[in-house]
Amino acid sequence: MTVRSGSRVSARQSWPRRNKWLLVFLAVYALLSVLLFDPKVSVGGDNAVYLTLAKSIATGKGYVQLHLPDEPAHAQYPFGFPVLLLLVHVLSGGVNVLGAKLLVVLAGIGAVFFMYGICEHLFKKKAWVVMALMVSVPMFVTYNHKVLTEIPFLCFSMGTIYFLLKASVKRRAFYWIGFGLAICAFLLRTAGISLIMGVTLFLLLRKQYKYLGIFVLLFLVAFVPWQIRNASLGQGHPYLEQFLAKNPYQVELGRIGVSDLVDRVWRNLLTYSFGVVPTGLVSLLKQSALAWVAGGVLVGLAIAGFVRKIRNRSVVEAYALFGALALVIWPAVWTGDRFLLSLLPVLVIYIFTGLFWLESKLKWRYFVLAITGILVLLNGIKIVQMAQAAVTDNIRYLKGDRDAGDSPDWRHCFEAIEWIRTNVETECVVMARKPEFVYLLSGHKSICYPLTRDRAEVIEAIGKADYVLFDNFRWTGLTERLLEPALWEERGRLLLAYETGPPKFYVVKVKKEW
């Protein structure tokens, strides 16, 4: 009995030694998360939408757009992420940006756990080399303090792949866990359909027809009611409409044709291969001729690695196919690292598969280690730069500068919204380029101007607002192109109420009678 007890103790004590690299990477990721953490609301509008949707559920109004005057039902984003945020909302008694960000950080830690498990399954003792690059990629850390679906989706999708790689006749429970995580991933973001299709293809290729039938049935149970509900609202399919549009921000351009789709795929391929992929993996490269060369090499290695692995017919290959397809067919105006993030671990896996194959051909023993060391060093330099800026901004934030680190245009946007919060009557409606922020930060109902050059339509929309927040954003010229001409035509009914310093933002009162 004594010997057996001692063996059990020894087995328990050996877990940290067997998983030392996992503990190292989890610790590194947690440390980087603290160093680069940003406690403020991110300046992308989607995070405000998710927080507002969680609030709408918590207040018992259902899944509606609280920021709009008539509070219509929301049909674009699946309800998965707002339901997760609901937990934070309930525990904190209201909208809590910091709590929501910490939830995303926890999801990031979960994603690192599953990524290590996948790498260990595929690369055995060399897993730590692959993970060293993954954890060093700044993108993985910078997105974990944004209240967006990218990191939670990464956690659930990597969890799906991990459990399905481990699933077998003796581990049937892993199928059920993998299926559950895949469906949860889809309910987080519609782009998760690529994971659903990947799992379906994987089961089909493996001739696991019983599990395939069960998985499809479970998916339909989650998918069909959501689609029926959206169809009953008469709002159509927002993502489908955006996909079919030549430009979602210029709806008057109409829908894409076959030649437009081919052109979109080609442009996205070039942008991702020679721009987003190299700068996403090694941020220090930025956009340059060197980035083009690095992109060609990295994508070439990934293709070589995929070709070598395709015979395995694993869930990784199946997901990679549909994930890459989703990237290249999406509107080019949204091409960027945010959409690459969910597929980046798979891309890194194939890059290293190609690198290890190349090492065996070249017979250079430390070839992969040297390449990895250089890439990690470059990312380390970038992370140090980012950490210095983040720590400085956070110190300023703690001292009272609530917009520390924000660009001048966003500072003035928040300044104008703060003026609205304290000076405009609660029942007034505000027109703005980012209406979600107006509602989240001021509590006022808000609408966006129509994204069209039809001046009559824009003027009609202005008449539904009590105030207009005219922006001077540096990242878009839509307000200047679409809203300014209509405001100029209607200048007789407008009254300047507030203006910021340059770049100037204006709060304009709309007179109802003139």
Compute the average pLDDT of residues 321-343: 88
pLDDT in tens, 385-426: 999 999 999 999 999 888 888 999 999 999 999 999 999 999
pLDDT of residue 19: 83
What's the CATH code, domain 408-510? 3.40.190
Residue 253: pLDDT band with limits 50, 70, 90 = low
pLDDT in tens, 89-144: 999 888 899 999 999 999 999 999 999 999 999 999 999 999 999 999 999 999 99
| The two structure tokens encoding residue 162 | 């991990």
CA 452/CA 216 separation, integer angstroms: 40
pLDDT of 71 > 80? The answer is yes
Angle between helices 127-136 and 97-123 (to 10 degrees): 150
| The two structure tokens encoding residue 413 | 């946007």
pLDDT of 16 > 50? The answer is yes
| The two structure tokens encoding residue 440 | 């989240």
Question: Model pTM?
Answer: 0.90
Compute the average pLDDT of residues 338-356: 94
CA-nearest of 54, 45, 44, 40 to 93 is 54
Where do the CATH 3.40.190 domains begin and end in the chain?
408-510
CA 40/CA 100 separation, integer angstroms: 11
pLDDT of 379 > 90? The answer is yes
CA-nearest of 350, 347, 394, 352 to 369 is 352
Distances (CA, A) of 90 to 58, 103, 407, 439: 7, 13, 32, 20
Distances (CA, A) of 369 to 229, 355, 390: 52, 10, 30
pLDDT of residue 346: 96
Rg (Cα) of the chain, in Å, rounded? 25
| The two structure tokens encoding residue 385 | 């730069």
Provide the edge-to-edge strand list for the sheet that holds 467-470.
Answer: 446-447, 430-431, 467-470, 506-510, 494-499
CA 455/CA 144 separation, integer angstroms: 40
Q: Which residue matches tokens 């351009």?
A: 253
Compute the average pLDDT of residues 323-340: 86
User: Can you give the length of the chain in residues?
Assistant: 514
Helical (H) or strand (E) element with 403: none
CA 22/CA 402 separation, integer angstroms: 36
Q: Which of 12-16, 56-60, 72-76, 95-99 has the lowest mean pLDDT?
A: 12-16
Q: What percent of the chain has pLDDT above 70?
A: 92
Residue 252: pLDDT band with limits 50, 70, 90 = low
Residues facing 499 on adjacent strands: 506
Distances (CA, A) of 490 to 11, 376, 416, 453, 484: 77, 56, 22, 15, 10
CA-nearest of 59, 42, 61 to 100 is 42
| Helix runs in 363-469, H state only | 367-398, 408-423, 435-442, 455-462
pLDDT of residue 405: 87
Q: Amino acid identity, residue 6?
A: G
pLDDT of 7 > 50? The answer is no
pLDDT of 340 > 60? The answer is yes
pLDDT of residue 9: 44
DSSP 8-state code for residue 430: E
- Asked if omega into 82 is within 30° of 0 (cis), the reply is no
pLDDT of 221 > 70? The answer is yes
Residue 15: pLDDT band with limits 50, 70, 90 = low
Helical (H) or strand (E) element with 472: none
Q: Which residue matches tokens 């997105």?
A: 143
pLDDT of 495 > 60? The answer is yes
pLDDT of residue 4: 47
pLDDT of residue 3: 42
Cβ atoms of 470 and 97 closer than 8 Å: no
Helical (H) or strand (E) element with 495: strand 494-499
- Long-range CB pairs of 224-229 (<8 Å, 24+ gap) are 226/78, 226/79, 226/187, 229/75
